[in-house]
Amino acid sequence: PAPGLADPALLRTASYVDGTWVDHGEAGHVVVGNPATGERIADIPALSRAQAAEAVAAAHRALPGWRSTAAAERAGVLRQWYDLVQAATDDLARLITLEEGKPLAEARGEVAYAASFLEWFAEEAKRIRGDVFPGPQSSRRIVVIREPVGVCAAITPWNFPAAMITRKAAPALAAGCTMVVKPAAQTPLTALALAELAERAGVPAGVFNVVVGDAREIGAELTGNPLVRKLTFTGSTGVGRLLLAQSAETVKKTSMELGGNAPVLVFDDADLDTAVSGVLTAKYRNSGESCIGANRVYVQAGIYDRFADEVTRRVRELVVGDGFEADVQIGPLIDPPAVAKVEEHIADAAAHGAEVLCGGARHPRGGLFYQPTVLTGVTRQMAVTREETFGPVLPLIRFTDEAEAVAAANDTEFGLAAYLFTRDAERTWRVSAALEAGMVGINTGLISTEIAPFGGIKQSGLGREGSVHGIDEYLEMKYLAWEGA
C-alpha cells in the first residue's frame, strides 16, 4: 500500500551502509506492519552480524576524514540536513504514523522535535572548546582539548522513530564522530528516510549508517566490536542492562536512556485546569507509549474528587482511531504484547480493589486499539504503580501529606521524569529538590525540548541528551602537559 508520499524516494526499504543501499540481507527479512490496520507495509532485507561489522568498518574508515573537517563544515551539513527534514515534514510524519501509529498531528510534532536537534547541534558544533590552566611551574601550561570519541553505535526504540535518532546522531556528527544506527524493527522506515535526507544534505559515505536486522545479532556486534568506542541506547531498562554488560568487555563509553515510572504530584493548591491538562498531556501523548509518560498520579485529598471527575470527563472525550483519520488523539498500541501488558495491569489493579472510572477494556474497533482508561483507588501494591505500563492508563492515588507523597513517588528503582502541580513557590522548590528524577515538570506535562538536558538517574539511565551538555557525551578530553610553553 502506497503511503502517498509527495517524495516517493523517501520510502527506502534497504539498510544504508557506506553511502549505498544494501538490498541483499544475509539474515532474512524484517517485516514492517501498520499497527492501525495490521497491513504489511514493507519487507526489508535483514543484515547479518557480519554485515553489521561491515557497517562498523565503513564508519571507522570514514572517521579520519569527518573528524578533521572544520567545525563550520560539519555545522553546514547538519544545518542542511535540518532544512531537508523540515521540508519533508509531511512525508516523514506519514511514515511515522504508518509504522508507529501515532496521530498525524503528533507525528508532525515529532518531526519538528527531531529536526530541532539537527539545528541545535549544527550550532553547538562550532562551540566545542577546551581549557588552558596555569601549570604547577611557570614553564608549564595545562592544555585541555576535546576530541570526538570515534565510531558510535546507536540502538533506538520505536516510540519516537525520528527524534530518538536525531537526538543521538546530531551531537555525534557535530562532535566529529561517525555512527551506525540500529533502529527498532517496528519502525525502520523513518530511520531510512532520515538516511536518504542525510545523503542529500551532504553527509559523506560511512559517516551515518542505518542497519536493519535482528536486534540480538546486530546488538552483539555493535557492543562487541572494539572499533565501536561509544554505545548510545534508548529503550527498556532490561535491554539497557544487557547492553551495558556486553559493552563492558571492550570498556565502551555509554549513554543510556532507559525506562521510567514517572510520578505526578497534584497538590490541593494546584490550579485544577492546569493540572488536568498537564496530566492529560503527560499521560496520553503517543497513547501513553512514552518513557516520560505519567505512570502514577498522586492527588491530594482536598482536590482528589474534583480532579478525578474532571480528568475522567476529559478522557472520555479523547478520540481513538487510525492516526491518519482527522481529529484522532489516541492511535493503536504498537503490538499485541503492548496490549497484553495494559490488560494485565488493569486486571491486577481491579483484583486488588481499584475501580475503573472510564475505559478499562479494548476499544470496539478491535485490533491494537485500547480505550483510554482512568483508575481510582489505586495502591502501591498494584503493578500499575510499580512498573511502566506504556499504555493509555491513568492510575489515581489519594494522599494527604506532602512527605508521604514524595516518599511514594521515590519508591521506585526508576528516576527519569516527575511532575508536580502546585501554586506554592516554597513547596515547588522543596518537592523538586526531594524528587529522585532527572527531570521535573512543574505545572506542565510537556518537558521535552532540545534546549534542556534530557535524561534520568537511578536505573533510568546514564548521561544526558540535548542541550549545551549533550555534545559532551560524544567528546573525550585530552590533556596536554606542555613544558616550555
Task: Give catalytic residues, as residue numbers.
Answer: 257
Which grid cell sits at 365?
Answer: 474497533
For 98-107, give one letter per residue: b (16+ CB within 10 A) or e. Answer: bbbbbbbebb
148 backbone dihedrals φ, ψ, rounded to 5°: -60, 145
Nearer to ligand ADP, 148 or 213 (CB): 213
399: CB partners within 8 A, 6+ apart = 298, 299, 300, 301, 405, 408
Smallest gap from Cβ 467 to ligand ADP, in A, equals 23
Nearer to ligand ADP, 155 or 203 (CB): 155
3-state SS assignment for residue 185: coil
Smallest gap from Cβ 157 to ligand ADP, in A, equals 4
Residues that bind ligand ADP (CB under 6 A): 155-157, 182, 184-185, 215-216, 219, 235-236, 239, 242-243
398: CB partners within 8 A, 6+ apart = 298, 299, 300, 301, 304, 377
The CA–CA distances, whole Å, from 304 to 221, 388, 400 equal 51, 23, 10
Helix (H) or strand (E) holding 166: helix 163-175
Contact 96, 115 (CB under 8 A): no
Smallest gap from Cβ 44 to ligand ADP, in A, equals 13
Nearer to ligand ADP, 85 or 239 (CB): 239
Instruction: Please state, in angstroms and rounded to a whole number, the distance separating the CA atoms of residues 351 and 391.
Output: 19
Nearer to ligand ADP, 87 or 215 (CB): 215
Smallest gap from Cβ 79 to ligand ADP, in A, equals 28
Instruction: Please state, in angstroms and rounded to a whole number, the distance separating the CA atoms of residues 451 and 468.
Output: 7
Smallest gap from Cβ 184 to ligand ADP, in A, equals 4
Nearer to ligand ADP, 45 or 157 (CB): 157
245: CB partners within 8 A, 6+ apart = none
Burial class (CB in 10 A: 0-12, 13-18, 19+), 231: buried
70: CB partners within 8 A, 6+ apart = none
Residue showing the smallest CB distance to ligand ADP in the complex: 219
Nearer to ligand ADP, 300 or 389 (CB): 389
Nearer to ligand ADP, 80 or 223 (CB): 223
161: CB partners within 8 A, 6+ apart = 95, 96, 99, 100, 110, 183, 184, 187, 189, 190, 191
DSSP string, 272-310: HHHHHHHHHHHHHGGGG--TTSEEEEEEEHHHHHHHHHH
Instruction: Please state, in angstroms and rounded to a whole number, the distance separating the CA atoms of residues 374 and 355.
Output: 9
Residue with cell 513517588: 409
Nearer to ligand ADP, 239 or 375 (CB): 239
